[in-house]
Amino acid sequence: MIGLGLEPEGSQCSRAGCRDASTWRIEWRNPKIHAETRRKVWLACDEHVDFLREFLAARDFPLEVMADGGTTAPGSGTADAMGRA
């Protein structure tokens, strides 16, 4: 479940109602209320990584998506580590 700014426990997808193991880590922040050093973390399974990334990107939140385990996804960047516009 989506936390309140705390590091997620275990490796369960953050999408509401999903209990699948996470394979992706999404680090993001809301620039209107978070300092540049503050990062929130959502975990995602393969099925929900695009949904969660698009949810955050639609709000223009800076984000980075990486494989769960700390390895940044290929073609990554600060705004969109999945390599999408």
Distance between CA atoms of 66 and 13, rounded to whole angstroms? 14
**CA torsion through residues 78, 3, 7, 33, sign:** positive
- The per-residue pLDDT for range 59-75, each reduced to its tens digit, is 999 999 999 875 555 43
Distances (CA, A) of 80 to 9, 16, 64, 84: 24, 22, 6, 6
- The backbone torsions φ and ψ at residue 57, rounded to the nearest 5 degrees and listed phi first, read -65, -35
Is this structure's pTM higher than 0.75?
A: no
pLDDT in the model for residue 27: 96
- The per-residue pLDDT for range 6-38, each reduced to its tens digit, is 555 668 999 999 999 999 999 999 999 999 999
Other CB atoms within 10 A of residue 31 CB: 13
> Regarding predicted confidence, which is higher, 78 or 28?
28
